[in-house]
């Protein structure tokens, strides 16, 4: 009978035989796609603009309403790309750390934990400083991740993919109820947080981006540096230890990077789901399972997906717009069903 390690070893071998030029080609295609959706994000929106308006707005002019609209779209586009990078990269790392094809910041309750921490901080402690909000969101994400892993590790067999997914779903539901309990008696807070809870990048501004950027850079760097260790973990803890990998250290560092990314992204854009779930699966089909390629590719494709979803949300409901969190949920639900049917909740 073929063992899980054998299946993974075979997958790794197939990935290793995948020609490097093919991977480079797909990475170039992803970067070009990102450039195209970034240009579309600046050019298209609720207000129709001309090419001259786009050029003037990008260069900083706001003399007309159209130019001002374009100027406002620039930081929104940058934030959408950064949040997409964070969620795509965090999803790939979480799936690698847990060897769970259903691992995702939303499904595992990490973003909901960050949301609960932020909402509680605003409601009870009057948090106002943006940097403090980011730290609080990261702390909430970390606490939620530890809780889900602890619950999923109970019982025989330890933290299996199914138990982690169920623990994450239950934790996310409980935290969502607590968020509602905190907000419902506070009408003013409910109004302020209603749109933030959906998830969106409409309130982007460069000072806000500058405050969250260091957290995203550090989180991304930690994740990328653990790529080789994640390849070893994919073979199983015993095999990884036999290869000289410090399993616990690698898992903790990778999880720390993912938590930094999730917490910072949630603090600045609200809880946005399904990006971290769908993107790594698509990237594995294109570049294989080697995390040295998978992680940067997931970052770029995550930016493409979230920026494209934001553009789509602005176009489908003119003159209003649909928040990107709703668009990603609509796109991600069928992908989630496909993953469940295809993977049958097996380990990666």
Q: Which residue has the higher pLDDT, 108 or 139?
A: 139
The parent domain of residue 174 ranges over 4-343
16 pLDDT above the threshold of 70: no
In this prediction, residues 127-142 reach a mean pLDDT of 89
11 pLDDT above the threshold of 60: no
Residue 348 lies inside a defined structural domain of this protein: no
Q: Which of 153, 138, 168, 347 is nearest to 256 (CA)?
A: 138
Residue 59 lies inside a defined structural domain of this protein: yes
312 pLDDT above the threshold of 70: yes
Residue 214 lies inside a defined structural domain of this protein: yes
Tens of pLDDT along 185-232? 776 666 667 667 777 888 788 999 999 999 999 999 999 999 999 999
Q: Which residue has the higher pLDDT, 48 or 214?
A: 214
Q: Sorting pLDDT into bands at 50, 70 and 90, what band is 343?
A: low
In this predicted structure, what is the pLDDT of residue 169? 87
- Decide: 260 and 49 in contact? Cβ < 8 Å: no
Q: For residues 214 and 162, give the distance between their C-alpha atoms in angstroms, rounded to a whole number.
A: 34
Residue 47 lies inside a defined structural domain of this protein: yes
The per-residue pLDDT of the chain, averaged, comes to 84
- Decide: 144 and 110 in contact? Cβ < 8 Å: yes
Please, what's the b/e burial string for 175-190 (b: 16 or more CB within 10 A of its CB; e: otherwise)? Answer: bbeebeebbeeeeeeb
Token duo for residue 32: 């070009």
311, containing H or E segment: helix 291-315
In this predicted structure, what is the pLDDT of residue 134? 93
Q: Residue 95 belongs to a domain with what CATH number?
A: 1.10.3470.10
Q: For residues 24 and 176, give the distance between their C-alpha atoms in angstroms, rounded to a whole number.
A: 41
Total count of domains within the chain: 1
Put simply, whether the predicted model's pTM sits higher than 0.85 gets the answer: yes
Residue 140 lies inside a defined structural domain of this protein: yes
Residue 35 lies inside a defined structural domain of this protein: yes
Q: For residues 345 and 180, give the distance between their C-alpha atoms in angstroms, rounded to a whole number.
A: 31
Residue 313 lies inside a defined structural domain of this protein: yes
Tens of pLDDT along 70-112? 888 999 999 999 999 999 999 999 999 888 777 888 888 899 9
Residue 295 lies inside a defined structural domain of this protein: yes
Q: Which residue has the higher pLDDT, 348 or 271?
A: 271
347 pLDDT above the threshold of 70: no
């Amino acid at each position: 009978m073929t063992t899980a390690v054998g299946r993974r070893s075979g997958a790794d071998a197939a990935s290793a035989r995948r020609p490097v030029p093919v991977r480079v080609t797909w990475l170039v295609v992803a970067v070009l796609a990102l450039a195209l959706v970034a240009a579309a994000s600046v050019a298209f929106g609720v207000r129709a603009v001309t090419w001259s308006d786009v050029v003037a707005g990008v260069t900083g002019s706001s003399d007309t309403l159209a130019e001002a609209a374009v100027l406002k779209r620039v930081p929104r586009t940058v934030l959408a790309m950064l949040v997409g990078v964070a969620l795509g990269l965090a999803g790939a790392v979480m799936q690698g750390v847990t060897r769970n094809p259903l691992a995702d910041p939303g499904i595992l309750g990490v973003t909901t934990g960050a949301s609960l921490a932020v909402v509680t901080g605003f409601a009870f402690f009057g948090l106002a400083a943006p940097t403090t909000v980011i730290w609080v969101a990261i702390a909430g994400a970390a606490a939620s991740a530890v809780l889900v892993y602890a619950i999923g590790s109970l019982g025989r067999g330890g933290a299996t993919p199914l138990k982690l997914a169920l623990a994450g779903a239950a934790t996310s539901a409980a935290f969502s109820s607590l968020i509602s309990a905190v907000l419902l008696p506070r009408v003013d807070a409910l109004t302020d947080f209603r749109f933030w809870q959906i998830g969106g990048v409409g309130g982007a501004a460069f000072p806000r981006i500058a405050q969250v950027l260091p957290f995203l850079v550090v989180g991304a760097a930690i994740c990328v540096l653990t790529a080789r260790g994640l390849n070893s973990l994919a073979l199983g803890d015993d095999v990884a230890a036999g290869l000289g990998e410090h399993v616990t250290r690698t898992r903790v560092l990778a999880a720390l990077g993912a938590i930094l990314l999730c917490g910072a992204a949630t603090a600045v854009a609200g809880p946005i789901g399904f990006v971290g779930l769908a993107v790594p699966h698509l990237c594995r089909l294109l570049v294989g399972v080697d995390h040295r390629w998978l992680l940067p590719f997931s970052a770029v494709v995550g930016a493409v997906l979230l920026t494209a979803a934001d553009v789509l949300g602005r176009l489908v409901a003119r003159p209003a717009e649909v928040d990107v969190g709703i668009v990603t949920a609509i796109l991600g639900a069928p992908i989630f069903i496909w993953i469940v049917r295809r993977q049958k909740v097996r380990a990666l």
